[in-house]
Every structure is written in C-alpha cells, then in structure tokens.
Amino acid sequence: MERLLKSRHLSGWLLASPLVVVLFFFLILPIVMITVVSFWTATEFSIVPAFSLENYEFLFGSDVTYRVFLNTAKYAAITWVFTLGIGFTIAYFLAFHIRSTGWQTALFLLCTIPFWTSNIIRMISWIPFLGRNGIANSTLMAWGVIDQPLDWLLFSDFSVILAFVHLYTLFMVVPIFNTMMRIDRSLLEAANDAGATGWQTLWNVIIPLCKPGIMIGTIFVVTMVMGDFITVRFMSGSQSANVGRLISNDIALLQYPSAAATSVVLLATVLITIAIFLRFVDIRKEL
Amino acid sequence: MKKNHYSRRSLLKTGAAVAAATAFPAPMIWAQDIKNVTLRQFGTGVSNLNEVAAKVKEDLGFTLEMTALDSDAVTQRAATQPNSFDIADIEYWICKKVWPTGNLQAMDVSKIKNYDKIVGIFRNGKLTPESVIAQGTAPHTVGFTSGPGGKDFAKEETGWMTLIPTIYNADTLGIRPDLIKRPIESWTELLNPEFKGKASILDISSIGIMDAAMVCEAMGEIKYGDKGNMTREEIDKTMAIFTEAKRAGQFRSFWKTFDESVNLMASGEVVIQSMWSPAITAVKSRGIDCVYQPLKEGYRSWGGGIGLSKALSGIQLDAAYEYINWYLSGWVGGFLMRQGYYSAVPETSKEHMSENEWGYWFEGKPATDTITNPQGQAMAKAGDLRDGGSFYERMGHVACWNAVMDENQYMVRKWNEFIAA
C-alpha cells in the first residue's frame, strides 16, 4: 500500500486529477455534445437526435458561408496587423524607454484602466462618438477638414475594426511586454558594441527574442476576433456578418443543430490557424 | 410544493369547492383558498407588466408570476413545456404554431362575462360590418376551435376560444419630420434613394420580411398572393430587391432591440425606419419630433392573447377565468391604451380613462389637456392629435397581420443571406 502511494505514476495522476476532471466536464464534454448535436436535425420547435449530414451539406453548399468565413478572416487579419503594430510599440516603449521600474508598473497599470469597465460599454461608447452628428464629425467639420459628415465612420468595416483594435490591443501588449522584460540587457549592449544600429538591434535581436510573446498575443487576438459576434453586430449596425453572428442567428431561431455544425467548423478553422502559427514558433521551448 | 399540494388534493377539495361555488353563487366560500393560488404566466415583454401583477394581487387576491421571454423562446416553451406555465401570453401567429400541439385548452366563452363586447376583429374578423379582412394570420382565423379538447381551428365563432385577446396594435414606419421636411405617404419611401444611408429595417426575420413586402408591393414590383404566406418565388424576389438596396447603401443600420431603434432615430442616424409604437413614444419623450406615419397602403398589425395550459384544472382554472374576466373588465385596458395599444374590450376601458385620454387615444380627437403615460410622463400637450387618428381609422386600415409562413425555414435562410450580403 505504502509503495503504491509512493509510486510516482499514481501520485502524478492524483495531483493532476482535479484539473482533468474540470477540463473533462467543462471543456471536453461540451465540445463532444456540440459535435454530436451538429449531426441532429431540427424542426421548428424541437431538435431530433439523428445522424444526418444535412447541416454540413447546407453549410458547405451555401456561398454565404464562404463569404462570411472570408469576412471573419479579413477582420482577424486586419485587426492582427494593427494590434501587433500598436501593441509592440507600446511594449517596446514601456520595456526599453522607461528606466524606472516604478514608472513601468504605473504606466502598465494605466493601460489596464479601460478594462475596469465592461467590454460592451467600451465598444458602445464609440457609437455616439462616431455617429453622423457625433463628436468626431462635428469636430472635423468645425476644423473645416470636411463639409459633409463622414458616414463611413460608423456602421462600417472601419468602425468594426476600430472597436476590435481598441478592445484587444492590450492582449498584445501584455505578453510582448512580458517577453521583452526577460531579454538580457547585456545582449543589447553586445549588439551596440558590435556596431549594430538601433534598427538592426530591433530586427535581429529584439524581435526574434519576442517571438513567443508575439505569438501568444496573436493567438489571443485572432481567437477572440474570430469568435466574436456582438462587436460586429453593434459596430456594423447588423449590416455585416461574421461566423459568430451566423451562430447567434441560428440559436435565436432555435436551430441548435445548425448552430452546432457552424461552431464545429469554426472550431476546426481556429485550431488549424493556431496549429499553423505554432509551426513558426515553439512557445513552450522559448518561454 | 404548494402546487403539488393542490394537485394531490384537487379531487377532494377543489371538487367540493367548485360544487359549493356553483351551489352558492358567491365565490366567497373559496376566497381564502384562492389567495394561496399562484398562476405562472409567461410571454413577450409587451404585456408582461409588473403593474398588472400588482393589481391582480390587490383586486383578486392571488399571485401572478410573470416571466418575459423573446418571441422565439415563447413559442418553443408553449410548444414543448406545457407544465412549465399556467397562462401563456402569446401572439396569434404563435398560436397558429402552438395550438395544434394540444398544450393549450379551449376556453368556454360562456364563462367570459364581456365576451359579447370583444371587438369584431377577434370574433368574425370584421371591425365594422363593411371591413375587408387583411392578409396574414388574422386573429379570428386562429381564435376558435371546434370544442373542448379541439386541436383544430374553426372558421366561425363556436363558443370555444383558443386565446382571449388582450393587446393589439397597428404598426407602420416611424419618421423624423424635422429632418425629412416633406409629407411621407407611402411604404415605398423606405427605399427612396433620397434617404440613402438614412433608412433602417428591423432584423427580426418574421416581421422584417412583412415590412419588406409592404414596400415591394407599394413599389408595384411584386404582387403577393398573401404577404403572410409567401411562396419561395415571392420570398426570393423580395429579398433580391432589398439586397440590391442594401448593397447600394440604402440602410444605415438594422436594429434588433427596442432600444436600438430608439437610439437610431433619436440620434438622427436614421430618418425613416420600421418601428414599434412605444419606441416612438420613447423618442418623443426625449423632446425629439417623431411621427408614427400612417401610410396609404395600410398598417402591419399584430395581436396578442392569453391561453390556458391544458394542465390547469380545479381552483387554478377558476382563478384563471377570474383573471381573464378581470383582464377584460377595464382597468388593464385603460392601462394599455395609455401606452398607445388597444384593448380587446374598449368600452370597459373607457370607464378607467379620463374623457381627455379616451378622446386622444381612442377617438383621435385633439387632446384637451396634457396626456401622460401610466408612469406620469407627458406624452402630448393640449391640441395634439394621435398619429393615424381614431381606433377605427387605424385598425380599419390593416393591410396585413403578423404571420407564420409555410416556407418559414426557407425564409429565415434567405433573410440570413440578406444580412450577410
């Protein structure tokens, strides 16, 4: 008995078991359920257990699906470019230009202040700002930059991406800042001594060493943008669709199997995307 | 627990109580018992009003528990979970889907005191003897069944009602007259290029498609057999016209919730859009000019009613009839009419409204004094007229009732494509 308890295998499993149980019930089981339901059929009031490929046939047979997936990818790609650019710059500034740790912490906390309010409130507050009679338009008109209010500021792809960038840039800043702080400063001095310019140091030393942080931020941003539906609905005035909105429309109409099928396809797409990302950077090795 | 207690003893106790109640006309004998009754009502937000539940407790003594859901969830629950409610507050088009499941029980009109005074729309379909019956799911077509236990719909008044009508109205487009600056007379204006980027339509497929159909028909592009029950071809044509307009940038936004429609209109993002009556009121109460514009092609109308779960029996069933009779006796009617809706028995509501209110809301007369809503907020000042005029003027020009189509699933898919286009 004593030997059994001391066995490394058993104690290992016992220590891991709480997490295994939690993940099984709250991650594996729901995904299995969704996959199973995606093969069911639905009437107007009820879902009927069956094994039918109807949901997938409809999904892959409609050009709306392709357009919507393409649109989702477009939002993810553009948002990624902007959040990476802004996020990297902020992290770089915080990590290398602010010398005192106290100021670093203070400024970093400042970045998180917007997160004290809800996601949705931060998003919706753009609407009156960008509206036809909103602050942005009236200011531009007062400056004489434009004569007519700009309609594309709100309820357009512009406003959707603006909101995404606003909401998710911090998810880029945090991991990149984290990896930057761990870069050994003597490496930068060595680069300097070897005659590298600032840009060369950035490109050849800092960016390669920041890759894991960039990758973690990328995974955050891409998965959140691809899974979002509420930002697209509000900021596009319901006029654009992404995959999340297809799913939420189906749920509202009680078409759970169809929603489940779309979810499975979305999940597969996101997993494949992440798998491709991880081909470039081995996060675990470089952490 | 309480519920079980009643159903278990219902055979003995309620049997005796009902016998007693019939023997002695006064219901006082079980007045103590009825205080312990709780009726669970669920429905859409429109008529699930806390004020009503509070008044029920005060006037009738029993408890009414209300749950508000969206219309899809209401339909599903009424169709699939008959034991989860006692009273279903649903719309007539939902009744068309739900009644055949047998989850609701027919109501004996001889127990409804004001039955004879219920507006003709809900009985023979005719508001006045000359009225023409509109397209869609007209309430009287699904308002009666053949008898107790019936799952069918009867063509005429049989004495057994599926739903007791409670609340109804005629919907049209809302406009901002201060920004449009010219009279609007037709549904076609929604797609008028003059309002490019300033129009909106609601993104709730079953209602949105009706508004779209009103527009297409008014434009003379499509002639519908029945706007409430379109063929696939009619759906395709309608969505094609709207998709083209969407791609050309006609719409500023679509809206799904009441608040969104209010904000779009109040901020001036949109100057013409499909809208609901209380939303107009909300815009007006911010001091912004907004009109529920009557249009020459007529209104898209809707009606709601309450149905009884088939599981109701004994003292609870008696309480439910008591509740229905109370509902039609006037207080609720007056309360609803003050919000711009109509009551099924207008004449009883009259006693609960001031002459000024009755004149403004029902008769379409100029207000003689400030009109306030039930919460006491001013809605109109002396001299103002209700948009669309009197009850007969508005309900007499219904072009189509909210409906559920045979091709519903096809329509929903097409609507999704329209949104994604």
Average pLDDT score, chain A: 90
| Measured distance CA(B208)–CA(B214) in Å, rounded | 10
User: In this predicted complex, what is the ipTM?
Assistant: 0.76
Question: Among residues B112, B137, B108, which one has the least CA distance to residue B125?
Answer: B137
**pLDDT band for position B413 (cuts 50, 70, 90):** confident
- Sorted by sequence, the CB contacts under 8 Å of residue A158 that are 6+ apart come out as A152
Look at chain A and count its residues: 287
DSSP A96: I
**pLDDT band for position B204 (cuts 50, 70, 90):** confident
Q: Are A91 and A209 in contact (CB under 8 A)?
A: no
Which of A68, A233, A253 comes nearest B72 by C-beta?
A253
Helix (H, G, I), strand (E, B) or coil at A271: helix
A36-50, A215-229, B117-131, B367-381 — which one is most confidently predicted on average? A215-229
Look at chain B and count its residues: 421
The verdict on a CB contact (< 8 Å) between A239 and B267 is no
The one-letter amino acid at B318: D
List chain A residues with CB under 8 Å of B205.
253
The verdict on a CB contact (< 8 Å) between A239 and B254 is yes
**pLDDT band for position A5 (cuts 50, 70, 90):** low
Helix (H, G, I), strand (E, B) or coil at B164: strand
Give me the phi and psi of A190, to 5 degrees please: -60, -45
| Measured distance CA(B15)–CA(B18) in Å, rounded | 5
Distance from CA of A38 to the nearest CA of B (A): 17
Torsion, Cα B210 B214 B220 B225, to 10 degrees, reads 50
Residues of A with CB under 8 A from a CB of B: 44-46, 58, 62, 64, 67-68, 71, 127-128, 131-133, 151, 154-155, 233, 237-241, 245-246, 249, 252-255
Question: How many CB pairs below 8 Å do chains A and B form together?
Answer: 73
**pLDDT band for position B1 (cuts 50, 70, 90):** very low
The verdict on a CB contact (< 8 Å) between A238 and B255 is yes
Torsion, Cα B11 B17 B23 B25, to 10 degrees, reads -140
Q: Which residues lie across from B174 on neighbouring strands? A: B273, B292
**Whether residue B4 has pLDDT greater than 50:** no
Name the closest residue on chain B to residue A71, using Cα atoms: B420
- pLDDT of B89: 92
**pLDDT band for position A173 (cuts 50, 70, 90):** very high
Q: What tokens does B320 get?
A: 């439910």
pLDDT digits (tens, 9 = 90+) for B367-412: 999 988 877 888 888 998 998 899 999 999 999 999 988 888 788 8
Other beta carbons within 10 angstroms of residue B173's beta carbon come to: 26
DSSP A26: I
Distance from CA of A263 to the nearest CA of B (A): 16
**pLDDT band for position B256 (cuts 50, 70, 90):** confident
**Whether residue B114 has pLDDT greater than 60:** yes
Question: Among residues B371, B294, B296, which one has the least CA distance to residue B340?
Answer: B371
Question: Among residues B11, B60, B80, B33, which one has the least CA distance to residue B309?
Answer: B80
Residue pointed to by tokens 């498609």: B209
- Sorted by sequence, the CB contacts under 8 Å of residue B310 that are 6+ apart come out as B82, B102, B103, B104, B105
- pLDDT of B31: 59
**Whether residue A70 has pLDDT greater than 60:** yes
**pLDDT band for position A58 (cuts 50, 70, 90):** confident
Q: What is the mean pLDDT of residues A148-158?
A: 91
Q: What is the mean pLDDT of residues B233-252?
A: 94
Given phi > 0 = left and psi -120 to 50 = alpha, else beta, which region is A254? left
Q: What is the mean pLDDT of residues B238-248?
A: 94
Question: Among residues A94, A89, A126, A92, which one has the least CA distance to residue A110?
Answer: A94
Helix (H, G, I), strand (E, B) or coil at B312: coil
The verdict on a CB contact (< 8 Å) between B409 and A133 is no
pLDDT digits (tens, 9 = 90+) for A239-253: 888 899 888 888 877
**Whether residue B12 has pLDDT greater than 70:** no
Which of A128, A237, A249 comes nearest B252 by C-beta?
A237
Percent of chain A clearing pLDDT 70 (strictly above): 96
- pLDDT of B229: 92
Q: What tokens does A133 get?
A: 């009679």
pLDDT digits (tens, 9 = 90+) for B62-73: 999 998 887 777
Torsion, Cα A4 A7 A11 A14, to 10 degrees, reads -50
Percent of chain B clearing pLDDT 70 (strictly above): 92
A195-209, B33-47, B278-292 — which one is most confidently predicted on average? A195-209
| Measured distance CA(A286)–CA(B307) in Å, rounded | 65
| Measured distance CA(B393)–CA(B294) in Å, rounded | 10
Which of A68, A233, A252 comes nearest B420 by C-beta?
A68
Q: Which residues lie across from B66 on neighbouring strands? A: B41
Q: What is the mean pLDDT of residues B96-113?
A: 91
Sign, CA dihedral B382-B385-B386-B387, equals negative
**Whether residue B13 has pLDDT greater than 70:** no
List chain B residues with CB under 8 Å of A239.
246, 251, 253-254, 419
Q: Are A191 and A200 in contact (CB under 8 A)?
A: yes
What is the DSSP code string of B77-135?
A: HHHH-GGG-SEEEEEHHHHHHHGGGT-EE-EEGGG-TTGGGS-GGGTTS-SSTTPPPPE
Residue pointed to by tokens 């009557």: B294
**Whether residue B14 has pLDDT greater than 70:** no
List chain B residues with CB under 8 Å of A238.
203, 253-256, 419
Distance from CA of B255 to the nearest CA of A (A): 7
Ranges A12-16, A28-32, B119-123, B178-182: which has the least confidence: A12-16
**Whether residue B226 has pLDDT greater than 60:** yes
pLDDT digits (tens, 9 = 90+) for B125-140: 888 888 888 999 999 9
**pLDDT band for position B22 (cuts 50, 70, 90):** very low
